[in-house]
Amino acid sequence: MAECESWNEDRARGIIAAVAVKEGAALPILHALQQVFGCVPLDAEPLIAANLNITRAEVHGIVTFYHEFRRTPPGRHVLRLCRAEACQSVGGDAVGAHLRSALAIDWHGTSRDGAVTLEPVFCLGLCATAPAALLDGDPIGRLNAARVDRMLETLT
């Protein structure tokens, strides 16, 4: 997975200005920031507010409304595991429990060695090859405890 850049206010201002030309630019700006920095830190909020001419409270409201935006950078790998019904029907809950215990973290947590951040999602559209996950954006289907263990071994 691509390394996240560390927070840089000038870089952030540039990103915001480039995207702000779109109509209704808030979400595209937040996506662009998260793409570069791995998250949307609190420090970004006043910059976005100033550019879009809205209050910082409004920006905060937008960032925190959407599950996808992180406030701190993730681990070196991001594993997004589906927790929705189709995955539940073929053992998704057990896969989730196994992962949390193997990584010794809860949802949204990052393993102690900083290798993996585990995020829950509700549906990846991989419902016919469930249980499913996205590992650094790559889809993985038909997960079970054994496949999870093999996968975790490759993540450093």
Partner 1 sequence: MTRVFVPRDAAALAVGAEAVAKALAEHADVVRTGSRGLFWLEPMIEVETPAGRIAYGPVQAADIPGLLDDGLLTGAARRLRLGVPEQIPFLARQTRLTFERCGIVDPLSLEDYRAFGGFKGLEKARAMGSAAIIETVLASGLRGRGGAGFPTGIKWKTVAEAKGDRKFIVCNADEGDSGTYADRMMMEGDPFSLVEGMIIAGLAVGATKGYVYTRSEYPHAIATFDKALSIARAAGILGRDFDIEQRSGAGAYVCGEETSLLESLEGKRGQVRAKPPLPAHKGLFGQPTVINNLVTLTSLPCILRDGAEHYQALGMGRSRGTMPIQLAGNLKYAGLFEAGFGVTLGELVNDIGGGTLSGRPVRAVQVGGPLGAYFPPALFDTPFDYEAFAAKDGLIGHGGVVVFDDTVDMARQARFAMEFCVAESCGKCTPCRIGSVRGVETVDKILAGRDVDANLELLADLCQTMKFGSLCALGGFIPYPVLSAMHFFPEDFRRAERLAAA
Given 25, 102, 115, 145, the residue binding partner 1 (CB under 8 A): 25
Residue 51: in which H helix or E strand, if any? helix 44-52
Residue 122 binds partner 1 (CB under 8 A) = yes
* Closer Cβ to partner 1, 78 or 103, answer by number: 78
Given 10, 24, 150, 153, the residue binding partner 1 (CB under 8 A): 24
Residue 105 binds partner 1 (CB under 8 A) = no
* Closer Cβ to partner 1, 85 or 113, answer by number: 85
Given 84, 105, 115, 151, the residue binding partner 1 (CB under 8 A): 84
Residue 15 binds partner 1 (CB under 8 A) = no
Name residues whose C-beta falls within 8 Å of residue 106's C-beta, 6 or more positions apart in sequence: 100
Pairing of strands 77-82, 133-135: antiparallel
Count Cβ atoms within 10 A of the Cβ of residue 16 and give its class: 0-12 exposed, 13-18 middle, 19 or more buried: buried
Whether the link from the prior residue into 131 is cis, omega within 30° of 0, is: yes
* Closer Cβ to partner 1, 32 or 103, answer by number: 32
**What are the distances in angstroms from CA 30 to CA 38, 62, 96, 100, 148?**
11, 9, 28, 28, 31
* Residues in touch with partner 1 (CB under 8 A): 22-28, 30-31, 52, 61-62, 65-69, 80, 82, 84-90, 121-130, 132, 134, 137-142
